[in-house]
Structure 1
Amino acid sequence: MNINNTDIELELWDTAGQEDYDRLRHLSYADAQAVIICFGIDSPDSLENVAEKWAPEVSLYAPGVPVVLAALKHDLRANEATIRELEKDGQRPTTPEMGEAMCRNIQAQKYIECSAKTVFRVREVFDATAKLAFAMQKKNDSKSCCIIL
């Protein structure tokens, strides 16, 4: 990837969210220069987990590291089957306003909605995160690659 005419290497770590990995996951934060916290637009509970689990964990194990909040499955927000399924539990897909509010709440640097299925704004998630990581790297000026969780 090239940022500001400089080739950079990205390392991406997809950490497990299952409780079985809670005691080990903190090890993956070492040397991170940016973090992407993701939630599913079709899962209001996953948005709640951003504030209750992920943001506090990032603050604890990677303090000061820039955060991108990514809302996944943008294509499902208007999907009738998804809406019906959520309505059974008295829920609805998350809105852009809910995501923006969470971004402010956790003090993330950027909020982006995307869809891997339709390839909507996927590249933007990684470009924005890489730019934040690159800025962190230049600030620290001690690493040869950017590590993104």
Structure 2
Amino acid sequence: MVLGDSRVGKIHFDPTAINFRCSVEEFYGMKYKAGDGNEYLLAMYDTGGEYELDHFRSLYYPRTDVFLLCFSVLDPASFDNIRTLVVIEQWAPEVADYLPSAATLVVGTKVDLRHDATVIDALRDRRSAPIQYEQGVSMCKDVGAAGYVECSSLTGYGINVVFDEVVRIGRELPVKQPRRPPRACIIA
């Protein structure tokens, strides 16, 4: 599941992914050949950045192994919101209840623009600066994530690293026990 504020670049990880849209969530499915040479089917759910739709998140938990916590390195508020989402809000206990074995990966997006003079000037005008790699690593430790990676969907930088980390983390998780078939009640 992909979490983070709107407009941080969550849905742009892979333009070749198969995209299914509806008003509440977006689903991306793709086959990915990882660095280990094996092919994996990755399914990503993006519930958007609209926090009024937070109650829909839990509907996707049963199908989730790794949560991607995304922020834009150009948007310090989106960075701070990761800590708020995980530490202050109900999200971490909520996930612990539903999926005690799930893992998280913190992802910094839009790194291609971190050193862009125009972007830096605009941030400076707002008395701000781009988030640096070391800050992302620190955030990863603060929220207890399994790792921190950076990427740019525009240039493709780090996209494979994101997916390779998802595969690595997912392979290290305990194997889920098969669920019992759902019980049915027929009313005639």
**Compared with structure 1, are the counterparts of its residues 18 and 141 closer, same or farther at alpha carbon in structure 2 (3 Å cutoff)?**
closer
> What letter is aligned with 2:159?
V
Out of 129, 138, 141, the residue aligned to residue 92 of structure 1 is: 129
Map of 2:142 onto structure 1: 105
Map of 1:147 onto structure 2: none
Map of 1:140 onto structure 2: 175
SS of residue in 1 equivalent to 2:63: coil
Map of 1:124 onto structure 2: 161
Out of 10, 14, 35, the residue aligned to residue 42 of structure 2 is: 10
Contact 1:16-1:25 within 8 A present in 2 as well: no
Map of 2:59 onto structure 1: 27
SS of residue in 1 equivalent to 2:59: helix
1:53-94: CA deviation from partner (whole Å, max 9, x where unpaired): 146514422444111111000111101111111112211000
**When the two structures are aligned, how many residues end up with a matched partner?**
141
Out of 95, 116, 123, the residue aligned to residue 79 of structure 1 is: 116
> What letter is aligned with 1:101?
S
Contact 2:86-2:143 within 8 A present in 1 as well: no
| Distance in 2 separating the partners of 1:2 and 1:115 | 19
1:93-141: CA deviation from partner (whole Å, max 9, x where unpaired): 00111111101101111111111111111011011112211222xx225
Per the normalisation by structure 1, the TM-score is: 0.83
Per the normalisation by structure 2, the TM-score is: 0.67
Contact 1:43-1:94 within 8 A present in 2 as well: yes
Q: Computing the radius of gyration over CA atoms, which structure comes out larger, 1 or 2?
A: 2
Determine if the alignment matches structure 1 residue 68 to structure 2 residue 105. Answer: yes
**Compared with structure 1, are the counterparts of its residues 80 and 135 closer, same or farther at alpha carbon in structure 2 (3 Å cutoff)?**
same
| Distance in 2 separating the partners of 1:22 and 1:102 | 22
> What letter is aligned with 1:105?
D
Contact 1:37-1:54 within 8 A present in 2 as well: no
| Distance in 1 separating the partners of 2:139 and 2:104 | 12
Map of 1:42 onto structure 2: 74
